[in-house]
Structure 1
Amino acid sequence: MSVVKDTNIPFSRESLEQLLKRRFFYAPSFEIYGGVAGLFDFGPPGCAFQNNVIDVWRKHFILEEDMLEVDTTMLTPYEVFKTSGHVDRFSDWMCKDLKTGEIFRADHLVEEVLESRLKGDKSARGESVKDEEDEDKKKRKKKVKEIKNIKLEDDVVEEYENILAQIDGYSGPQLGELIIKHNITNPATGGALEPPIEFNLMFDTAIGPAGNLKAFLRPETAQGQFLNFNKLLEFNNDKMPFASASIGKSFRNEIAPRAGLLRVREFLMAEIEHFVDPEDKSHPKFDDVKDVKLRFLPKKVQESGSNDLIEMSVGEAVSCGMVDNETLGYFIARIYAFLIKIGCDPNRLRFRQHMSNEMAHYASDCWDAELHTSYGWIECVGCADRSAYDLSVHSARTGEKLVSRKALSEPRTVEEFEIELAKKKFGPKFRKDAATVEKWLLSRTQCELEDFAKKLEEHGRIVARIDGVEGAVELDPELIKIEKVKRTEHVREFTPNVIEPSFGIGRIVYSVFEHQYWARKDDAERGVLSLPPLVAPTKVLLVPLSNSSELQPIVKKVSSVLRKEKIPFKIDDSSASIGKRYARNDELGTPFGITIDFESAKDDSVTLRERDSTKQVRGSISEVVEAIKEITYSGVDWTKGTASLKPFNS
């Protein structure tokens, strides 16, 4: 269904957000108590739209790719996230005003201040400046007036633009250096800031009445899938590759929630874990997507200080090595198709590669699907090759093998690192901790053993901290020996790699709202949400021309047919004019209207109205309902779907 946006009214975020709250797509939680930042409740149209998006996601990914869906608990013991690295690394950098105690997220503060200064520079040079900003940004940038109309040196402008191009890749200490170098202070007061410190984003809690079992609310759904790997592999008859999927709530204790649904503390995620042989990351359906052209922002471009996009096919991106492998490229293309299907504007969608200093230490490649909104480019989907990290660390911690086995057609010789312990020396050296140290050493991965071997050779010792052992543990060549050993294999045992597409549903939902909102020509008050019929909360508005008893049997008949066909609809038989009734449902994104008039009572014919163009056609009840089904669920356009119906002019 093509969208015809006949408008001369500029996009207004304020108008959109007023509409979304007024029509109860969503609203701040606990609003009558003053609300809590970063928490929102979804109303009837918001629930319906989000559920429809999830339904499309399930069909597009889980059903199409034969994935195994699981639903795992939101409460997760401390040990799980300690092992996964979340306890130590799942953090953002925050800085505090020394006087007022006001807290800022460091990277956002640097970004906002430098953007403000660049706008001031443009004003001073007489260039036009688009000034539609997040209300929170505006509040924090009261000092912008001091910055406006100040011309910056060309080299400073270039440096600022280079920093902004790489803002996602800076560490805490690097952000601290930027704050000092560029004299960044509290925008509201000018107050000096403390150096950035790490703030772990997980909500902690305790399980049980005694509170002895420390736990967290999960910040993602992934860990539950990794921990159930053996069960999933068995369910899949030990066949590789395969994928699991999970949809559920996650929680992150954001430092400074802002931008409505874009940065919240409780949100819906949909995540896929595609388990693949590390020696074969091809995909059997890659040829289906290899010609899909996408707009890429590779890390090399960003690291050069540029944001220029490169347009190429997925096949080209994989063959030249820009995208690491076929399976990763396949999912990037499938992510694109999903986002377009639910209403994202392809011209406001790009795939940005994580920079070298931004990428997780274990990932071999990672791309974010970013959608452009009035808040800038927003990460909505991450697609990463996480290598074998997750299964390896959980296996090492628990002693449970999380591996797949493949019979070899003929034996092969492999060379792997093995560790040999001088057990007679372990007792006297470590005493009561000897068993703990031994277990820890024997559970190390090949990558870790390779690293240990290098340290032993270069430094003559390894120093490690081991859970349950007080102080640092020092190991030298008299205690351990690590070397490569050749052996013959008849069955290949390997830890699968994981390709992980991870979707932030709330961010996607809001971005679609922005991409599909507009106002009728010459009338800023007549807002329209051009949501695709497939995901629109309600598909049909049923509008009797009057409350005459003569029309009631037809209203009931059409309602019965729509209900039987499982097509969501609403009846508006209020006393408002038919134009007003359609206008208020255009705001709700309802794509079709069925008008029942006095001719309907004579011949069972009704009028079908299309939301965006307001075109109308007429036909029998069965013909009109069939057209709605074809356009909504089969994806045909308006012209083809209504070809058998007669044009109608009121």
Structure 2
Amino acid sequence: MSDPRFEEILAPLRANVKEQGDIVRKLKAEGAPDLDIKQAVAELKLRKKVLEDKELSLAPTSATFDRAKMEDLLKQEQMLEVDCSILTPETVLKASGHVDRFADLMTKDVKTGDCFRLDHLIKAHLEKIAVEKNTSPDVKAECRDIHTKLEGMNKEEMAAVMEKFNMKSPLTGNDLTEPIEFNLMFGIHIGPTGLVKGFLRPETAQGIFVNFKRLLEFNQGKLPFAAAQIGNAFRNEISPRSGLIRVREFTMAEIEHFCDPSNKKHPKFDDVRSTELLLYSACNQMDGKSPERHTIGSAVDKGLVANETLGYFMARIQTFLTRSGVDPTKLRFRQHMSNEMAHYAQDCWDAECLTSYGWIECVGCADRSAYDLSQHSKATGIRLAAERKLTEPKVVDVIEAVPNKAAIGKAFKKNAKQIVDALTTLSIEDIGNIEAKLDKDGTYDLVVDNNSFTLSKDMIDVKRYKKTVHVEDVIPSVIEPSFGIGRVMYTIFEHNFKTRENDEQRTYLSLPALVAPVKCSVLPLSSNTDFHPFIKELSSALTKLDISHKVDDSSGSIGRRYARTDEIAIPYGITIDFDTLKEPHSATLRERDSMGQVRISLNEIAEVVHNLSYNKLTWKEVENKYPKFEQQESKGN
């Protein structure tokens, strides 16, 4: 926001954010209690939101978008996308942490059973109390304090808030239940017996991780390599809202790029080094500063972005989004702050797009370190690692816990295999602990899947020896770009929803020709049978060049038919008229956004549309080459 008048308004809000950001930094540096840090971070988020809301309110285009009109237009298209759902065994999502941690707190109306997401309910209730005239200053202050702490509250603390403020169902006024932990995954039972528990997948990534070993073999055991997947994911949201922004079933596209953790350079990074991105760093967020423009090369060189591979994908994400129709002036990359960052992540940036809903995350791009493969390897006992050749052989100390299968089998019978498998996955540290405990007490309690088994010295032989190795195991790091296709689609629709100047009732979608599903319409001026051979000839020529098109020979004026094709984003229209019947045969080519028209020979026009559709030619170049057709479209059509 460059207008000095706006900066005068925003300056005190920026100062408020920076002041709180400094407090957060100080608390972390001093090792303050977690609750104090969470409270300070929550206050920082509130101040950031006030600043961002004010920035959006000052933006000249923020209040002009008519979402209802755009949604009415989209409903007319009658387009559906279908995909098969994917079943995931519980063991996979247990290893990834989704079974234990992928949950929200909710509460229910005791009479009707209506469900509410608890943090949203508390926020709304406290905001309502805070604006009431008869609310005392002390209660208002308490509401603000709870609001700042809410994100870090556990089930018991939220229950206390519900009780203190005597919260009821906002729909009926009925009593509410105690807070309930609600896992966001859809549970299912697999197989004819129903004994195998599973879930509809909450993301597409885990399927790639569990197939890592096979994917590595396909790549001849070499790093780096990548795998991609697109498909439906399912999250049992307590209260889905905001159209395509938050739904229970949605399409994801994810790339998992596996690389050596000691070498995260990318061979194509120089190709994107000069790409400029709007970066909203964690530091700028805490200081109340605006996002700043950097080339991705300088951002990586300075350490603002963690490594080349992460930076490469961020640059490619921007190129994909803008070529697909996202407005580049409404796109930024926001870095996760330390309190948002997953404990295993080394860096994470969200591609956020500005819409009528505010800034929404459309693509996440994270360096997930080696967390996922480590977790699945630990859970399954399967080695999920690549090999790195050593420049020189080296001698290493090896320690192994060798199970006495006969003794274990005799003592534990059907559980023996489970115990033996667990012993083969132990870390060096675990084996050392077992050895020390056996030497001291003569027994060791091994915990496997929440069951404890007491092992004696005769069941385990701890062996130590030296070994010369020429390679070493490497658990790859994962760089993950993750696309929410529905959110990207919604943003593209909103950024390209337009109204004709001086005619607000005439709306259209200005999708780039590259992504428009239908590239061209063929419009005979009337139902005159003399036009039929030319329509057939033109349709055949377009088909040979793989140009998707539709013939609209319906009744109605040409202006009305142009309007219909504009609504469904068709970028080019070819009109067959009475001049087409004359030698040399020609037709009118119209461009959707400018409504400009040129006259082109019939034997050239299909190739021109092909080159326009795939960015080999610009409309300006076409206008400079071919004569303009000056007939104007009637406003009333």
For residue 549 of structure 1, the aligned residue among 510, 529, 533 is 529
For residue 350 of structure 1, the aligned residue among 325, 332, 336 is 332
Flag the 1:282–1:8 CA change in 2: closer, same or farther, 3 A.
Answer: closer
> Is the contact made by 1:9 and 1:522 (CA closer than 8 Å) also made in structure 2?
no
- Mapped to 2, the partners of 1:632 and 1:604 lie a distance apart of 23
Q: Which amino acid in the other structure matches residue 604 of structure 2?
A: E
Give the CA RMSD over aligned residues.
4.3
Q: CA deviation at 1:256?
A: 1.4
1:84 equivalenced with 2:138 (yes/no): no
Q: CA deviation at 1:588?
A: 0.6
Q: CA deviation at 1:182?
A: 9.3
Match of 1:643 in 2: 624
> Is the contact made by 2:202 and 2:233 (CA closer than 8 Å) also made in structure 1?
yes
Structure 1: give runs of 5+ residues left out of the alignment: 1-6, 26-41, 52-71, 118-142
- Mapped to 1, the partners of 2:282 and 2:211 lie a distance apart of 34
- Mapped to 1, the partners of 2:466 and 2:302 lie a distance apart of 34
Q: CA deviation at 1:228?
A: 1.9
Flag the 1:554–1:443 CA change in 2: closer, same or farther, 3 A.
Answer: same
Match of 2:271 in 1: 288
- What's the CA shift string for 1:439-498, capped at 9, x where partnerless? 43541457x859989x99xxx99998531x53x679999999999999653212211111
Q: CA deviation at 1:102?
A: 3.0
Flag the 1:649–1:188 CA change in 2: closer, same or farther, 3 A.
Answer: same
Match of 1:123 in 2: none
> Is the contact made by 2:381 and 2:424 (CA closer than 8 Å) also made in structure 1?
no
Match of 1:65 in 2: none
> Is the contact made by 1:98 and 1:193 (CA closer than 8 Å) also made in structure 2?
yes
Task: Within 5 Å, give how 1:344-423 maps onto structure 2.
Answer: 344-412=326-394
Q: CA deviation at 1:592?
A: 0.8
Match of 1:518 in 2: 498
> Is the contact made by 2:545 and 2:607 (CA closer than 8 Å) also made in structure 1?
no
Task: Within 5 Å, give how 1:310-321 maps onto structure 2.
Answer: 310-321=292-303
- Mapped to 2, the partners of 1:175 and 1:337 lie a distance apart of 44
Structure 2: give runs of 5+ residues left out of the alignment: 1-60, 632-637
Q: Which amino acid in the other structure matches residue 582 of structure 1?
A: Y
- What's the CA shift string for 1:81-103, capped at 9, x where partnerless? 22222211222333335665432
Match of 2:251 in 1: 268
- Mapped to 1, the partners of 2:468 and 2:257 lie a distance apart of 29
Flag the 1:515–1:100 CA change in 2: closer, same or farther, 3 A.
Answer: same
- Mapped to 2, the partners of 1:588 and 1:451 lie a distance apart of 68
Flag the 1:528–1:451 CA change in 2: closer, same or farther, 3 A.
Answer: farther
- What's the CA shift string for 1:165-213, capped at 9, x where partnerless? x998887678778878999875556777656543212222222222122
Q: Which amino acid in the other structure matches residue 292 of structure 1?
A: T
1:618 equivalenced with 2:599 (yes/no): yes
SS at match of 1:518: strand
SS at match of 1:271: strand
1:278 equivalenced with 2:261 (yes/no): yes
For residue 72 of structure 2, the aligned residue among 11, 14, 18 is 18
Match of 2:114 in 1: 102
Q: CA deviation at 1:307?
A: 7.5
Match of 1:327 in 2: 309
Flag the 1:167–1:600 CA change in 2: closer, same or farther, 3 A.
Answer: farther
Flag the 1:8–1:362 CA change in 2: closer, same or farther, 3 A.
Answer: closer
Q: Which moved more, 1:11-20 or 1:353-362?
A: 353-362
Match of 1:340 in 2: 322
Match of 1:58 in 2: none
- Mapped to 2, the partners of 1:628 and 1:267 lie a distance apart of 34
- Mapped to 1, the partners of 2:539 and 2:563 lie a distance apart of 21
- Mapped to 1, the partners of 2:277 and 2:157 lie a distance apart of 32
> Is the contact made by 1:449 and 1:482 (CA closer than 8 Å) also made in structure 2?
no
> Is the contact made by 2:400 and 2:462 (CA closer than 8 Å) also made in structure 1?
yes
Flag the 1:398–1:292 CA change in 2: closer, same or farther, 3 A.
Answer: same
- What's the CA shift string for 1:354-413, capped at 9, x where partnerless? 333333332222222222222222222121222222222222232222211122221246
Match of 1:32 in 2: none
Q: CA deviation at 1:14?
A: 0.7
Task: Within 5 Å, give how 1:496-645 maps onto structure 2.
Answer: 496-602=476-582, 603-634=584-615, 636-645=617-626
For residue 232 of structure 2, the aligned residue among 249, 256, 268 is 249
Task: Within 5 Å, give how 1:108-507 maps onto structure 2.
Answer: 108-109=120-121, 147=131, 188=171, 196-302=179-285, 304=286, 306=288, 308-412=290-394, 436-437=418-419, 439-440=421-422, 442-444=424-426, 466-467=448-449, 469-470=450-451, 489-507=469-487
Q: Which structure is larger by alpha-carbon Rg, 1 or 2?
A: 2
SS at match of 1:550: helix
Flag the 1:201–1:185 CA change in 2: closer, same or farther, 3 A.
Answer: same
- Mapped to 2, the partners of 1:231 and 1:107 lie a distance apart of 42
Flag the 1:287–1:184 CA change in 2: closer, same or farther, 3 A.
Answer: farther
> Is the contact made by 1:353 and 1:368 (CA closer than 8 Å) also made in structure 2?
yes
TM-score using structure 2 length: 0.76
- Mapped to 1, the partners of 2:570 and 2:230 lie a distance apart of 26
SS at match of 1:524: strand
- Mapped to 2, the partners of 1:350 and 1:231 lie a distance apart of 36
- Mapped to 1, the partners of 2:581 and 2:136 lie a distance apart of 72
- Mapped to 2, the partners of 1:462 and 1:298 lie a distance apart of 49
- Mapped to 1, the partners of 2:528 and 2:445 lie a distance apart of 87
- What's the CA shift string for 1:49-70, capped at 9, x where partnerless? x99xxxxxxxxxxxxxxxxxxx
Match of 2:26 in 1: none
- What's the CA shift string for 1:516-566, capped at 9, x where partnerless? 102112322211111010111211111111111121211111111111111
Q: Which amino acid in the other structure matches residue 580 of structure 1?
A: R
Q: Which amino acid in the other structure matches residue 407 of structure 1?
A: K
Flag the 1:361–1:637 CA change in 2: closer, same or farther, 3 A.
Answer: same
Q: CA deviation at 1:281?
A: 0.8
- Mapped to 2, the partners of 1:323 and 1:626 lie a distance apart of 43
Q: Which amino acid in the other structure matches residue 571 of structure 1?
A: V
Match of 1:39 in 2: none
Flag the 1:406–1:421 CA change in 2: closer, same or farther, 3 A.
Answer: closer
- What's the CA shift string for 1:19-70, capped at 9, x where partnerless? 1113324xxxxxxxxxxxxxxxx2xxxx5xx99xxxxxxxxxxxxxxxxxxx
Q: CA deviation at 1:243?
A: 0.4
Q: Which amino acid in the other structure matches residue 365 of structure 2?
A: C
For residue 93 of structure 1, the aligned residue among 105, 110, 113 is 105
> Is the contact made by 1:9 and 1:524 (CA closer than 8 Å) also made in structure 2?
no
Asked which structure has the greater RCO (Cα within 8 Å, sep 6+), the reply is 1
Q: Which amino acid in the other structure matches residue 219 of structure 1?
A: P
> Is the contact made by 1:542 and 1:593 (CA closer than 8 Å) also made in structure 2?
yes
SS at match of 2:521: strand
- Mapped to 1, the partners of 2:559 and 2:63 lie a distance apart of 20
Q: Which amino acid in the other structure matches residue 566 of structure 1?
A: D
Flag the 1:337–1:185 CA change in 2: closer, same or farther, 3 A.
Answer: farther
Flag the 1:98–1:514 CA change in 2: closer, same or farther, 3 A.
Answer: same
Q: CA deviation at 1:352?
A: 2.3
> Is the contact made by 1:465 and 1:473 (CA closer than 8 Å) also made in structure 2?
yes
> Is the contact made by 1:162 and 1:305 (CA closer than 8 Å) also made in structure 2?
no
- Mapped to 2, the partners of 1:152 and 1:643 lie a distance apart of 71
